[in-house]
Amino acid sequence: MDEPPMEVAPTQRTGTRRYTPEEKAEFVLMGLRNPGRISEMCRERHVAPISYSRWKKTYLAGGLDALRKGKRVTSIDLEQENRMLKEVVGNLYVELEYVKKKLEAVN
């Protein structure tokens, strides 16, 4: 006996999450702080690793404004971003030195 062809349910494409420039910048900074966890972070947030790479490249080239579509980056914006990044690096350095001293005290 011939069976009628099976009906195939249409595939439903999941909606793509849109991230704000601020969310992208925060995600990139988290990746820079934890380079060994990038793959895990991408999986947890359902972000394609290639998207993270693009966001990182864009962010490092022009900061938060570069992540905003259609907005040009000015030298003033870059200077502000530079100051902010220097502050982040300085804070991370202070944390690192603190942890090193604590570790030396334990040993």
| Size (the chain), residues | 107
**33, 23 Cβ separation under 8 angstroms:** no
pLDDT of residue 6: 42
The structural domains of the chain, with segments of one domain joined by +, span 21-106
pLDDT of residue 8: 39
The letter for the amino acid at 8 is V
Token digits of residue 9: 């349910």
Residue 83: what are its φ and ψ, rounded to 5°?
-60, -45
pTM over 0.95? The answer is: no
User: Rounded to whole angstroms, how far apart are CA atoms 31 and 44?
Assistant: 13
Helices 38-45/21-33 angle, 10° precision: 150
Residue 47: what are its φ and ψ, rounded to 5°?
-110, 130
**pLDDT over 70 (residue 17):** yes
pLDDT of residue 9: 42
